[in-house]
Structure 1
């Protein structure tokens, strides 16, 4: 039976969908009772709103979420409408993924019921939907992208490939993390056994849409900042990451520093000297210190560079203009001190991947009771107060999940290895084997890129959390069933031998 027909005509599916809707209503009602207003992450939320208000095409962060806010504002400026739309998109993508798993892999009835219930009642989902941030939208798009990959493996039709290219573009616009998605999709489509014409239509659609968006973005950067680049944030992030490694290295002799980076690097050395005299260093743990703290050499250097200018450019123009230089400096610093970078940035970030800290998710509006003027302007509020019905602004439920992921991630690795090496995997059909392989590759690709790109937080890992939980459950269930069947077979064989002997 076709998937759409199967969804609406199967009695079990209807009951599960109604059950999911009831849980969603209860979860959302609870969320909005405790937190009547959205959650904000300064400066991220403010920047998204300012870019939406100005209808910009480029910004500090990817422009996709600002365009989403702009689109919603055509119909309503209500914060309630924004949050409920984000929640519906997120939960819709979760249900699309889960029912696709049921259709494609046929897990047991009670196993799927348990998996659906655990996924739907996940308290992080309504909380992430309550943020004025790109996180919720990106999780929804990533889940849709991944689910489409499973359908491409199963039944790659031209319409699906074109829709996949659109979803891929949207994810690419919303978060820089999606930079590896197109490569994964193109390789998967190239390896799929479909007519060459359809294959090239799918790959061509992805390439064309991304080429047009990247080209337009680079043009906007050229016009506004005089530099040709795609993501200015990447240059700053690379330099900030590199400084966490260099902070624990022996300082370079100023005479050995290449002239291109000499002035900046001397400033960095002075800053490291000042940090050495502190009892508690602000860069003791990887985070946002070198990126956003006003005392960071990366923030001080542009101010010194433009201090003599009679009409200094805007903050964004300064910020974007420095990005290519910082990207080059970051690569040079990492190449010069590779082992220190691995030890003091990659390794701590790898640890954070297995147990991502809650950070922004553990405190409502970072504990602040007020919001910035752009929030008041955008949502047409009468004041800047942000009241809640909670006793304090701690979101305590979020603190459970770092420990949960510390268990889940190793469990996924162990169960995947055990399942692939078991008889259960060998008995799977080709489609199921390819789906399992796709899941493993997506998990490793996400882990590799996350660890290398930026300090990891819980809100960045909700997409892998949802799919990891589901596949871990499926693998463990299959292994238990296989062991149970082998035990029953052994008992029957022993009984048969005993009867024969008698």
Structure 2
């Protein structure tokens, strides 16, 4: 088994280097989106709090201590993902018997996935977070059958790292604590690990809140959450066929007076041409023309420290405003935001993966300064025609979900839990629990897009293959038993 895994390590290293060399020939510059410039500004200013968690900005800073080469940064995050994916790949081999064809398909999904390759070329936290998450969930699988205190300590460190990178990690402590409770540890170890987790995460939140007050002038853990609440509520409010006049509380009069005329103007725009049309995107959160923006029409808002401070200053008010709109129209909020986002989770829009550099041939000054570019011009040698491949990914995500669910149902119909490996049964429960919690959190939190779903695509495909492998190998015996 170990010799076989060594061969896969060498193959993964070879394919990684080959893909990277060929890819960087066609894409000599990284890919940038609005988030990228905020991370670069955070790294350049060495701040400890911002609109997003600063874990990825710290990675940029660490790499920048040695070199400001964009190629090195992209290679490091691509290599980091591969190391994490190898750990996940090796963990799957420990869960149950894996047929060689299943192993080969999972290898291709992990290491020959075009979405991972292109996402690694982005200056964003996405592929970094996917790598951390693969290690995090692999450790959860192992803690059930390999209850080592060292592994538990390592898991707490990985959990903390994930927490500093993306707000999606807010659900990770819930899942980790639930799994640890059922692990074969003593009650003392379980209580101690829960207290350590709570104290470390609580300390991080208190520190971030204090730094936010220093940097942005507002005491809050995340200014982003207040804006997201308002954005989601206004999206639903904007799509209501009729909006009766609201006698809003005094603190919301000013913002409501900006929102209503703007939404009224959209009624004259056909739905396909509306900026807040389908698929759902974070239009009201980030678009310069959004009525929620403190300075309408501002440009480079993610790279504008003063603008971000203005956004942070009104975030608590926006959080309350969003909750107020939802409380006034709960059914409409479900109909025009939650329900569409529920389906968008299964068929996520491609968003930034479908374009290079947001369709521009220039970058913002912060990127030019950080990477020491001689000019703000960037280019590719590919013509980006191949990006059409990502138009297939939303349908692929839907297929993966159906593949996993059908495999899960068939697995129970053939009595899979009665003969499957204990390790696999535990991992399947953990993976299913994660998916349910993630589904609920994602739908409630923000509009779902493809790059947020790549981890789920990997997990769904891997477990779907393992489930159908068990079904195919055991169905004949099950039918024979039923006939008898």
TM-score bucket (shorter structure): over 0.9
Change (3 A) 1:120 1:14: same
Question: In the aligned structure 2, how far is the partner of 1:46 from the partner of 1:428?
Answer: 48
Match of 1:287 in 2: 281
Question: In the aligned structure 2, how far is the partner of 1:166 from the partner of 1:436?
Answer: 24
Shift of residue 490, structure 1, vs aligned partner: 8.7
Question: In the aligned structure 2, how far is the partner of 1:303 from the partner of 1:79?
Answer: 32
Shift of residue 197, structure 1, vs aligned partner: 2.7
What are the residue-to-residue correspondences of 1:254-273 with 2, within 5 Å? 254=246, 256-273=247-264
Task: Select between 393-402 and 455-464 the one with higher mean Cα deviation.
Answer: 393-402
1:414-440, Cα deviation, whole Å (9 max, x unpaired):
211221332222223443322111111
Change (3 A) 1:114 1:44: closer
Which residue of 47, 67, 76 maps to 2:58? 67
Q: TM-score, normalised by structure 1?
A: 0.90
Shift of residue 449, structure 1, vs aligned partner: 1.1
Task: Select between 114-123 and 232-241 the one with higher mean Cα deviation.
Answer: 114-123
Match of 1:467 in 2: 459
User: Tell me, which stretches of 5 or more residues in structure 1 are unaligned?
Assistant: 1-5, 305-312, 494-502
Match of 1:309 in 2: none
Does structure 2 conserve the Cα–Cα contact (< 8 Å) formed by 1:358 and 1:458? Answer: yes
Shift of residue 303, structure 1, vs aligned partner: 4.1
Question: In the aligned structure 1, how far is the partner of 2:109 from the partner of 2:316?
Answer: 45
Does structure 2 conserve the Cα–Cα contact (< 8 Å) formed by 1:158 and 1:202? Answer: no
1:315 aligns with 2:307: yes
1:445 aligns with 2:437: yes
Q: TM-score, normalised by structure 2?
A: 0.93
Task: Select between 229-238 and 219-228 the one with higher mean Cα deviation.
Answer: 219-228
Question: In the aligned structure 1, how far is the partner of 2:41 from the partner of 2:217?
Answer: 22
1:434 aligns with 2:435: no
Match of 1:499 in 2: none
Does structure 1 conserve the Cα–Cα contact (< 8 Å) formed by 2:420 and 2:470? Answer: no
Shift of residue 81, structure 1, vs aligned partner: 0.8
Match of 1:210 in 2: 201
Change (3 A) 1:350 1:490: closer
1:232-277, Cα deviation, whole Å (9 max, x unpaired):
11110110011111113332424x3222222222322222211112
Does structure 2 conserve the Cα–Cα contact (< 8 Å) formed by 1:364 and 1:394? Answer: no
Match of 2:373 in 1: 381
Equivalent pairs counted in the alignment come to 472
Shift of residue 20, structure 1, vs aligned partner: 1.9
Give the 3-state SS of the residue equivalent to 1:261 in structure 2.
helix
Does structure 1 conserve the Cα–Cα contact (< 8 Å) formed by 2:351 and 2:450? Answer: yes
What are the residue-to-residue correspondences of 1:33-52 with 2, within 5 Å? 33-41=25-33, 43-52=34-43
Match of 1:497 in 2: none
Change (3 A) 1:475 1:251: same
Question: In the aligned structure 1, how far is the partner of 2:95 from the partner of 2:3?
Answer: 18
Question: In the aligned structure 2, how far is the partner of 1:47 from the partner of 1:117?
Answer: 33
Does structure 2 conserve the Cα–Cα contact (< 8 Å) formed by 1:364 and 1:393? Answer: no
Question: In the aligned structure 2, how far is the partner of 1:67 from the partner of 1:118?
Answer: 29
Does structure 2 conserve the Cα–Cα contact (< 8 Å) formed by 1:232 and 1:320? Answer: yes
Structure 1 segments (4+ residues) deviating >3 Å: 484-491
What root-mean-square deviation, in Å, do the aligned CA atoms of Structure 1 and Structure 2 show?
2.0
Task: Select between 239-248 and 389-398 the one with higher mean Cα deviation.
Answer: 389-398
Question: In the aligned structure 2, how far is the partner of 1:281 from the partner of 1:15?
Answer: 52
**Which protein, 1 or 2, shows the higher relative CO under an 8 Å CA cutoff with sep ≥ 6?**
2
Change (3 A) 1:27 1:489: farther
Task: Select between 280-289 and 348-357 the one with higher mean Cα deviation.
Answer: 280-289
1:22 aligns with 2:14: yes
Shift of residue 486, structure 1, vs aligned partner: 4.2
Give the 3-state SS of the residue equivalent to 2:226 in structure 1.
helix
Change (3 A) 1:270 1:197: same
User: Tell me, which stretches of 5 or more residues in structure 2 are unaligned?
Assistant: 297-304
What are the residue-to-residue correspondences of 1:211-250 with 2, within 5 Å? 211-249=202-240, 250=242
